[in-house]
Structure 1
Amino acid sequence: MLIDTPTAAHLSQVISQVTAPAFLLGAVAAFVSLLIGRMNRIVDRLQALHATIDDDISRTHPDVPHLRRRAVLLNKAIVLSTISAIVTSLLVILAFVSAFFQFQHEYGVALLFVIALSFFTLSLVDLVREARLSLHDLSHQKPGRSP
């Protein structure tokens, strides 16, 4: 079976169709960087607590459960964002493979785009939950205690 190679015009059309997913990939990459930065600050705070406080006391320190909860939410957001990026990458691959084999790809691409945006939205929700916990922690700190 001989496959007709796609024309430049057809490839140009596919490229124009995958620009939105390409922007989504860029946004997800920046977002994951932000999430990792927040996670690093929490890990640093946990390590500082464990280094300055006796090991038995550090487990029961009031900040430790809150910091761990925030870390769990950020980890979940990172995983969801990464899944979003993977699905978006699959979307772009599907678009080009479909163009090469001259398959109809509109429904598959649309479905993958909705799935990718859903994972990204869930990741944003977890970031909001973590930010609320962060503000809640700040409002309950005693004066003179460092954040």
Structure 2
Amino acid sequence: MFPLTNLTDVTHLIQLAIAPVFLLNAVASIIGVLINRLSRAVDRIRVLDERLSRAGPGTEARDEMELQVLRRRLWLIYLALTCEVLCALFVGLLIAAGFVGAVLGANVSLGIACLFVFAMAAFIVGLTVFLREIFLAVVSTRDRMR
């Protein structure tokens, strides 16, 4: 691979970087949803903590069970967020490596391929953990309604 020598080379490189940018957009959307769910869980924990500090013996056990579920959900959301942020970092590194490799004329194709595989693995694991958190939220809500 030769260093960038003209505007056509730069234009082609930018075109190649567009697809990972769409992936970054998707990951950013998922991160936004996860942060919203994290905020709601934290708010609910605060309400339950306040209620438990004033509660009588009748409602304490149910609130403690709900707190345990919320703690588990918080951990899952945190794990999913970590995976999605790692995915975004890998994609950012992938784009940067492509530009640096092109400018320096270095063959970085193996590094870019590895970064893409790592990004996809983090993306998939993050979505899987997110799905688990959704299942836990639905089951716990269904149990509370009974």
Q: TM-score range by the shorter chain?
A: 0.7 to 0.9
Structure 2 counterpart of 1:46: 45
Note the 1:16-35 alignment, pairs <5 A: 16-35=15-34
Note the aligned Cα RMSD (angstroms): 2.1
Residues 61-99 of structure 1: CA distance to partner in whole angstroms, max 9, x if unpaired? 110110000000000011111111111110011000011
In structure 2, the CA distance between the partners of 1:27 and 1:142, relative to structure 1 (3 Å rule), is closer
Pair 1:75 & 2:74 matched: no
Structure 2 counterpart of 1:125: 128
Please list every run of at least 4 consecutive aligned residues from structure 1 whose deviation after the TM superposition is greater than 4 angstroms.
Answer: 55-58
After TM superposition, the score normalised by the length of structure 1 is 0.87
Instruction: Name the structure with the higher helix share.
Output: 2
CA contact (8 A) 1:6 1:102 kept: no
The alpha-carbon deviation at position 13 of structure 1 amounts to: 1.5
User: How many Å separate the matches in 2 of 1:73 and 1:99?
Assistant: 39
Identity of aligned residues (%): 29
After TM superposition, the score normalised by the length of structure 2 is 0.88
SS for the counterpart of 1:6 is: coil
Output the amino acid matched with 2:120: L
SS for the counterpart of 1:47 is: helix
Q: Aligned residues, how many?
A: 141
CA contact (8 A) 1:6 1:99 kept: no
User: How many Å separate the matches in 1 of 2:101 and 2:13?
Assistant: 9
In structure 2, the CA distance between the partners of 1:74 and 1:4, relative to structure 1 (3 Å rule), is closer
